[in-house]
Amino acid sequence: MSPQSSSDLPLMCPSAQPEMSDASVFGVIQGSPSEPRVAYLERPVALTPEVAALAKPVEPTEVFRIGAQCAGSCCVHFGKGRCRLATRLIQTLPEVVSAAPPCAIRGTCMWWRQEGVAACKRCPQIVTRMYGATETLKDAAAPC
């Protein structure tokens, strides 16, 4: 059996929902309440019910960054084969790190595949379910 290269694998959304069947945790939110920052896991952790329970009493999407297969046209941000959310994020948000994070899902990440390292340098400021978002983040996250 030959090894599967990352380009053969389905693209993953790096800001997915925990209920998705192939969801895995690749980052944990650190930083402060008003300035969160993702810390990246050495390797993804399958988002089992037991792992999701670690986030109680808050939502897993407030604690983890979750990757799962890109939902394509089932997601409001997808259009013309592209993730419009990723495009808006790199157009409007500042870089928050000087080099791409040590991310375990980069090889299959939709945002990276589409936008390159520009997405990676903005990724650590993203919390999937975010309180205290700036107006810029609200604008970027709004479906168009």
Partner 1 sequence: MAAPRRAASIPFDQFTEQTLSAVLRAVEAQKLPQRPIIIGIIWNPQGLPGFQGVGGRGAAGKEG
The residues of the shown chain that bind partner 1, judged by CB under 8 A, are: 13-17, 19-20, 28-34, 36-43, 45, 54-59, 61-64, 68, 71-78, 85, 89, 95-99, 101-102, 121, 123-124, 126-133, 135, 137-143
Residue with tokens 């157009």: 91
Beta-carbon contacts of residue 142 (< 8 Å; ≥ 6 apart): none
Cα distance between residue 122 and residue 119, in whole Å: 5
Q: Output 6 or 136, the one with its CB closest to partner 1.
A: 136
Beta-carbon contacts of residue 22 (< 8 Å; ≥ 6 apart): 68, 69
What are the residues facing 107 on neighbouring strands? Answer: none
CB of 7 to partner 1, least distance (A): 22
Q: Output 1 or 35, the one with its CB closest to partner 1.
A: 35
CB of 120 to partner 1, least distance (A): 9
Q: Output 6 or 132, the one with its CB closest to partner 1.
A: 132
Pairing of strands 24-31, 82-83: unpaired
CA atoms 116, 120, 121, 127: torsion sign: positive
CB of 1 to partner 1, least distance (A): 26
Asked if residue 26 lies in contact with residue 74, where contact means CB atoms within 8 angstroms, the answer is no
Q: Output 2 or 118, the one with its CB closest to partner 1.
A: 118
CB of 24 to partner 1, least distance (A): 12
